[in-house]
Amino acid sequence: MTETAFIHRFEPATSAGSPPLLLLHGTGGDENDLLGLGKLISPGSALLAPRGRVLEHGMPRFFRRLAEGVFDEDDVRRRARELGDFVAEARQRYGLAAPIAVGFSNGANIAAALLLQRPEALSGAILLRAMVPLSDPPNADIAGKPVLLLSGQGDPIVPASNSARLAALLSQAGASVTHRVLPAGHQLSQADVTLARDWIGNVDAKAA
């Protein structure tokens, strides 16, 4: 295994027209967590699901944090680079186009960091309950990349001002951002699934 290798699951595409998905779990999850979600929102897509390499009290995460909502930003940058290397290797190994990231919570935060640090790694992103990952983000050019940001109105972890700031940050970097605030908390709801599925269908239709 190389230094950038992640324990991961890969499921090949069953439909040639569906975009590959990079599935990024939340704190305490693993490479199996979002496979079902991936199949629901984009049936037929190839699914690439790595396990976060940082352990917090035995729970896998994609980067270190100093407290809830307070990130170790040097670690965020390093881990985003590692994840970008992994995606590049996996694309070569499995013959994939640049995937759409589908991240939940900690996975959504690393997906946002990856988008800003290694824009070429992703063709777009679905960010579920994401926060601003870097207080001083790089000057990224993500012109035209589609991003769906789904926030929870009653989310006790992500303040509304923070998710709004993330939407603005990604828009300023050129992304085509759709931000929806749902009547939900930090956990995912059926509305997340429906909106993500419809959004991917629209992105897919535009790409075709």
Among the listed residues 13, 9, 21, 6, the one whose alpha carbon sits nearest the alpha carbon of residue 125:
21
State the Cα–Cα distance between residues 101 and 160, nearest whole angstrom: 22
Residues 6 or more apart from 13 whose CB is under 8 A from it? 20, 44, 45, 46
Q: Residue ranges of the alpha helices (H) in the chain?
A: 35-41, 73-94, 106-117, 160-172, 190-207
Active site residue 74: no
CA distance 34 to 17: 21
Please tell me the CATH code under which domain 8-207 is placed. Answer: 3.40.50.1820
Percent of the chain's residues with pLDDT above 70: 96
Question: Does the annotation mark 15 as catalytic?
Answer: no
User: Which pLDDT value is given to residue 96?
Assistant: 96
User: Quick one: residue 82, left, alpha or beta (phi over 0 = left, psi -120 to 50 = alpha)?
Assistant: alpha
pLDDT of 3 > 80? The answer is: no
pLDDT at 16: 85
Helix (H, G, I), strand (E, B) or coil at 61: strand
| 109 has a pLDDT exceeding 80 | yes
* 186 assigned to active site: yes
Domain residue extents for the chain: 8-207
**Rounded average pLDDT over 112-136:** 96
Question: What pLDDT score was predicted for residue 166?
Answer: 97
Q: What would the pLDDT profile of 35-60 be if each residue is shown by its tens digit?
A: 999 999 999 999 999 999 999 999 99
Tell me which of 176, 186, 189, 204 is the catalytic residue.
186
Question: What's the pLDDT at 207?
Answer: 65
pLDDT tens track for 167-206 = 999 999 999 999 999 999 999 999 999 999 999 998 876 7
* Catalytic residue selected from 105, 123, 151, 163: 105
Residue type, 124: G
* Residue 1: pLDDT over 50: no
| Residue (of 22, 133, 37) closest to 76 by Cα position | 133
Mean pLDDT of the 66-86 span: 94
Task: Calculate mean pLDDT across residues 86-90.
Answer: 97
Q: What is the mean pLDDT of the chain?
A: 94
Distance in angstroms (rounded) separating the CA atoms of residues 78 and 208: 34
